[in-house]
Amino acid sequence: MAETALLTVLKVLMIVICAGWVSLWILKPTQMWTKNWKEAEDRLRPTVFGYYGLNFVVFTFPVIALAIVGSVYLNVQQRKPRRLRRKAFPGASNPVVVNTLLGTLTALEILAASLFILLLVWTFYARISNDFKKLMPVKSLKLKLWQLQYLRVATRFGLLAEVCLALLLLPILRGLALFRLIGIQFEASVRYHIWLGTAMIAFAFLHGASTLFIWGVSHHIQEEIGKWQRTGRIYLAGEISLVTGLVIWITSLPQIRRKKFEIFYYTHHLYLVFLVFFLFHAGDRHFYTVFPGIFLFGIDKLLRLVQSRPETCILSAKIFPSKALELVLPKHPNLKYTPTSVIFVKIPSISKFQWHSFSITSSSSVDDHTMSLLIRCQGSWTSSLYNLINTELKSGFNKMKTIPIAVEGPYGASSTDFLRYDSLLLIAGGVGITPFLSIMQEITSAWQSGNYNQYPTRIQLIFIAKKSQDICLLSSISDLILNQSDEQFHLKLKVFVTQEKQSVTTVKELLNEFSQGETVDFGTDSSSYAIHGLESFLWMAAIAGLSSVVFLAFLICLSHIFIPNQKTKASSKEKSPSWVADIIILSSFVIAIICSTLVALVLRGKKLSKETIQTSEKHVKSWQPSSSEAELGFATEKHEIHFTGRPKFQEILEKFPTETGGSDIGVLVCGPEKMKESVAALLCSHNSQCFKSGPQKKTSFSFHSLNFTL
């Protein structure tokens, strides 16, 4: 009861903080807010707190407070015993719009996007209408009326870019993820980061190009373009920031990101240059409005770096004929994660800087001491890993030299409620099978432990592969596929091989032929540690709170040292350039990060001081066959394999309710975007027909799009 009451209080507090922060953005463009805000700054200027303290507390701290309260909420929720339950609105994840450019959109996503667009329209309208009422000529430029008006429009485009930047980094937080509070995981929220980044660059480009245009037509471009003003907007800094942002955006396009990942990865780190010069261009007051995401991203980044040290090692690797690898890593027994979780790994012997994400194919309910990854070696980094292991394998040694590996994560859903349906239809394309492997192992473990009511009883797995040898990706659940009995849940596998001609073969024959890869055991390093996973939510909340306190303390101290005369607004600006306040913000942030890092390292070191990997000869736990030969024959006969054709999803969706007998069906799709969109479009059509036909249409489909990682 106490935990329930605490969760309720924390939930109300988070709602109040969110409502307050959104209200700030709505009121900020109004004249009433501008007038009262200037008066509040002037009153606090001569105090210890200063105008900068007011800006930090009002504009920056609410989002930090939301992350802190949210972490406490997740910690309490994690400790509270809970049963799987269906969502109050099971159709909330169903697609409403399917678009090639944007992907699948749910009703909630459309509502959120619409409200955000309304905020942008309101901000632009409120600012422009006031600007046109009080047009003031620019002293350094002799502009005509239309030029002056267009210059104000260009300036307000920059303000819209600022609104997008305020939210840009929030979707890519991992440990301090705010989106986790509403059930959206990191892998799914990345696309919001892409949308916001594209909108921000579009507005910033309009802002910069329009300003340059006005300078050009007024013949002042040579005078203005290289200015580094003592006070006000620093034009040169804005130009550097815009060019940097364009480089980041261009190299993030799918055509470059997929084919030249290294270019995308390294140029993306230019965000440091972009943010620093944005600060110099916009000034400290505007920076406080976008600072929450930057602040949390910095703390989140440091927590991830601390968690990934010290390095662990690969225990064993299995090489399959289709150039796929299965890696086994050591895991602490207390580390638990949900199906579909992902981890980020870095192998210094391949690259000292690149991190790559992979889906965990094992279940923490099955394997206490290890976790497994299945990697399809297609890109340069994964191919380097394959060649590294394959070369050592051919060397003839029984045990290879230790391969150090840094691990960050795992990141996954806070619960397995998304699996709570009468029946499951799992649709996987290629390496998109990886999240489903952990799901199948989790469900099997639940059935073996007697939790019959926790998960669905009937599952159909659709696996689409280019070549028949790709069936090796099912290796980790081959025992489940071949040795299934009626005492367990009913699983039916349908394999579609799209680029091979018809062959007289069975699923059993293909599994036996292609799942027998070569396994290599690695030597273990006595200084390596098992993977512990993320620190507790309370620990992360404490670090975020400590960082904000340290930042504010140094912000106040440094401001009083380097901007001593703050009794009046005029005296302060006359004696110190505006970029001095920007340097103070950067310095305070760096100091706060360093202090928090030291604390995190000390706590992490104490936790790992007496612990090293304890390994055994048997690294991976596997299912033991429990079926008779007759049952085995029955299990393999009911699975299907089809050649030279893609599945007809319309037909599958129509037959599935009849085959399973379930009325509440979960459809989980993972694979190429075109495949997701085709399934989503069919479900959109089905849902609209259900709406028109009324309550007599009882079958309910709930759509979940999973993101596989390479």
Domains annotated on the chain, with CATH:
1-82+94-306+535-562+578-606 (no CATH), 312-530+638-706 (3.40.50.80)
Residue with tokens 């199948």: 440
> Whole-angstrom Cα distance, residue 108 to residue 515?
42
AA letter at 452: Y
Q: What is the pLDDT of residue 625?
A: 38
Provide the token pair at 600.
């995190």
* Residue 284: closest CA among 48, 587, 596, 591: 587
Q: In what order do the strands lie in the sheet with 458-465?
A: 640-643, 490-497, 458-465, 423-429, 664-670, 700-705
Angle at 453 between CA 412 and CA 458, to 5 degrees: 80
CA distances from 565 to 40, 568, 577 (A): 18, 8, 13
Query: What is the mean pLDDT for each group of 10 consecutive residues in the chain (710 residues)?
Result: 84 94 94 92 88 92 94 84 52 72 83 95 94 77 84 93 95 88 83 94 95 88 82 88 96 88 91 95 92 94 86 87 87 87 91 89 87 87 88 68 86 76 87 89 78 75 88 84 67 86 78 79 70 86 94 93 62 65 94 92 78 50 40 57 84 80 79 86 74 53 67
Instruction: Tell me if the bond preceding 310 is cis, omega within 30° of 0.
Output: yes
**Terminal-to-terminal C-alpha distance of the chain:** 43
Residue 557 has a CB neighbour count (10 Å cut-off) of: 14
103 - beta bridge partners?
99
The radius of gyration of the chain's CA atoms, rounded to the nearest angstrom, is 28
CB 525 within 8 A of CB 273: no
CB 401 within 8 A of CB 520: no
Angle at 113 between CA 110 and CA 117, to 5 degrees: 135
Question: Helix count (H) and strand count (E) of the chain?
Answer: 23, 17
* Residue 607: closest CA among 516, 524, 534, 555: 534
Provide the token pair at 28.
């900020």
Instruction: Tell me if the bond preceding 46 is cis, omega within 30° of 0.
Output: no
DSSP H helical segments within 169-283, as ranges?
A: 186-217, 221-224, 235-250, 254-259, 261-268, 271-282
Q: With the CA atoms of 254, 259, 261 and 267 taken in that order, what torsion angle do they form, in degrees rounded to the nearest 10? A: -70
* DSSP assigned state of 311: -
- Those residues whose C-beta lies under 8 Å from the C-beta of residue 429, and which sit 6 or more positions away, are 464, 670, 671, 672, 675
As to burial, measured by CB atoms within 10 angstroms (0-12 exposed, 13-18 middle, 19+ buried), residue 617 is exposed
Q: What is the pLDDT of residue 33?
A: 93
Q: What is the pLDDT of residue 569?
A: 47
CA distances from 317 to 54, 371, 400, 432, 439 (A): 55, 12, 10, 20, 22
> Whole-angstrom Cα distance, residue 477 to residue 345?
24
As to burial, measured by CB atoms within 10 angstroms (0-12 exposed, 13-18 middle, 19+ buried), residue 213 is middle
H or E segment and range at residue 96: strand 95-99
Residue 605 has a CB neighbour count (10 Å cut-off) of: 12
CA distances from 382 to 472, 655, 709 (A): 17, 39, 12
Q: What is the pLDDT of residue 633?
A: 45
CA distances from 28 to 59, 153, 329, 412 (A): 10, 18, 51, 36
Q: What is the pLDDT of residue 628?
A: 39
Q: What is the pLDDT of residue 30?
A: 92
Q: What is the pLDDT of residue 422?
A: 79
What angle do the packed helices 145-168 and 186-217 form, to 10 degrees? 160
73 - beta bridge partners?
none
Beta strand 518-522 pairing with 399-400: parallel
> Whole-angstrom Cα distance, residue 237 to residue 280?
6
Provide the token pair at 125.
């309208």
Q: Do you know the residue count of the chain?
A: 710
> Whole-angstrom Cα distance, residue 80 to residue 4?
8
SS3 of 624, please?
A: coil
> Whole-angstrom Cα distance, residue 661 to residue 459?
11
The three-state (H, E, C) secondary structure of 514-565, written as one string: HCCCEEEEECCCCCCCCECCCCCHHHHHHHHHHHHHHHHHHHHHHHHHHCCC
CB 363 within 8 A of CB 413: no
* Residue 600: closest CA among 336, 304, 335: 304
SS3 of 426, please?
A: strand
